[in-house]
Every structure is written in C-alpha cells, then in structure tokens.
Amino acid sequence: MTKYKAIIFDYDGTLKLANQKRITNSIRSILTQLKKQDFIIFLATGRPHNHCDYLLDEGLVDCIISANGALVANDSTIIDSYNYSTNNIKMIEDFCKDKQIPCTFYTNELLYNGVQNSNLELGLKESMDFKINQLERYNHSVVTQVHLICLFCLTETDIELNNHFSTLKVSRWHPTIVSLLEKDITKMTGILKALSYYNLTISDCIAIGDGSNDIEMINESGLGIAVGFNNQKLISVADLVIPKVDESLLEICAQKRISSSS
C-alpha cells in the first residue's frame, strides 16, 4: 500500500469555516497530532500570507503557499516569491481608477485601491469571509512588492480586460473576482515550488480541499481528499470524500504515514 510523507491543506472551507476568525481548537489538535505523526504540513491558500502566518507561529504547519501560489514561505525563508513589474502595477491601478473597479493588491497583507461596490463586498465575503472595512489602502510609493492583483468585476468585463491587458493573463476564479497575471501562477505552481524545497513530490502528498482551485492538487496528489459534497468537479477527481475535517482524518492519515527515514 502506498504511504505518504506530507499533507497539503486548503484553508477556507477546509481548516477554517465561515464566520470563524481562525481555526478552532479541535482543528489545532488535529494538526498537532498529524505533526506528531511526522507529517510535513503545507497550507495552500488564496489568502495573503499574514492571514495565516499564525499557523507557522504556533508550529502547526511547516510552510504556507499563499496568494494562490505567488508567495511560498516557511517561518524562516521566502522559498519563492513572484512580484509584478512596476509598470504593470501602475497600468492596472490606472485602469481600475478610470473604470471605478475595486482592486486588491496581495503584498504580505491584503490592500485595495479604495473603490467600493457590491462586487467587492460579495467577492471578499465568499472567497475569504472578509469585510471591506478590514482592508487598508494600497500606496505604491510605500509598498513596492505585489504578489497578486485581483479585480472585482462581473464576467462581462472579461472581454474588455483581455483587450486592454493583452500581455497579461485574465484568470477568473469567482463570479466577481478575476486575477491579472504576468505569468501562469496557480496554487499548484506554488505547491510544486514548496515540495521541491522539501525534496518531495506531489505523489508523496495527501491533499485536502473543498474548492475549485483545489481540483489540480487533489487530482495530482498521491491521495486526494475532497471536503464536503457541494463541488461535483472536485469530488470527481478525489480518491476520498469526507464531510469535514475531524478526528476521522487522523485514522486515514495514520494508515498512510511513512517515516522520513525509510
């Protein structure tokens, strides 16, 4: 039977549920017990790094892949970091100002351009259970490194975005959220950077997630576990489906563990 060395967790909807500011004590206990089984624990999230770095501080995860793969870091090292060019940041910022489109800038934290509307409100709530009043303004003269830029607009805007930003990739991942990318960056590209740093492959891993941006890691991992029953595309590529992350996961993972010294 194939056994595994690492676990990759999604964050929102997997470890942290809606209306929770942070993970619960029961999830903390599960992560602690998995660490005691000598699993290397990765967190892969669309959030900025500082939303989840408390998990590094508490020793519950070994590495965080944040900003949908654009920033990979552990508690001591930035393993991989993608930064937008100054010209593209300015071009996107000017376009959003002219069109009055809300725009978020993923630095170590989540900043925005000050434009507010219902698309921003809905996108923040559904993607990370976040509120507009929790955002701070982006200032390009102060913050120079931007890992990910997202625009909050409806799908009918995509044609205009493709025409205007012909050198960028328009990547829609939510009905009201689209990323503008200088190159193809996904959760999976960030995961592969992290695994390489730890001398692991995706087949060494159990991947656990609940969303559409988890499909690739669930499909490619040695063992893919879908959380919940709402995402049929995710379920179709998963090896197992569980209703939620709870104590039963410990038994599943214990059966799959291989010592790193083996």
- Residue 225 phi/psi, 5° resolution? -120, 120
Same domain (yes/no): 106, 150: yes
Instruction: Choose one of 148, 181, 214: the last residue of a domain.
Output: 181
Same domain (yes/no): 208, 170: no
As to burial, measured by CB atoms within 10 angstroms (0-12 exposed, 13-18 middle, 19+ buried), residue 17 is middle
Same domain (yes/no): 25, 107: no
Residue type, 89: I
Which CATH number fits the domain that encloses residue 127?
3.30.1240.10
Whether 227 is in a domain gets the answer yes
Same domain (yes/no): 191, 104: no
Whether 126 is in a domain gets the answer yes
Which CATH number fits the domain that encloses residue 44?
3.40.50.1000
Same domain (yes/no): 192, 169: no
Domains of the chain: total: 2
CA distance 168 to 170: 6
pLDDT mean values, one per 10 residues, the chain (262 residues): 87 90 95 94 96 97 96 96 95 97 95 97 92 94 91 97 95 93 92 98 96 94 95 96 93 72 42
CA–centroid distance for 14 within its chain: 11
CA distance 200 to 113: 39
Residue type, 109: E
Q: What is the pLDDT of residue 259?
A: 46
Instruction: Choose one of 153, 181, 209: the last residue of a domain.
Output: 181
Same domain (yes/no): 96, 168: yes
Token output for 57: 């501080």
Whether 142 is in a domain gets the answer yes
| pTM for this prediction | 0.91
Q: What is the pLDDT of residue 1?
A: 52
Q: What is the pLDDT of residue 127?
A: 87
Q: What is the 3-state secondary structure (H, E, C) of the chain?
A: CCCECEEEEECECCCECCCCCCCCHHHHHHHHHHHHCCCEEEEECCCCHHHCCHHHHCCCCCEEEEHHHCEEECCCCEEEECCCCHHHHHHHHHHHHHHCCCEEEECCCEEECCCCCHHHHHHHHHHHCCCHHHCEECCCCCCCCCCEEEEECCHHHHHHHHHHCCCCEEEEEECCEEEEECCCCCHHHHHHHHHHHCCCCHHHEEEEECCHHHHHHHHHCCEEEEECCCCHHHHHHCCEEECCCCCHHHHHHHHHECCCCC
Q: What is the pLDDT of residue 2?
A: 61
Q: How do beta strands 103-106 and 63-66 pair?
A: unpaired
Domain that holds residue 244: 6-81+186-256
Q: What is the pLDDT of residue 258?
A: 57
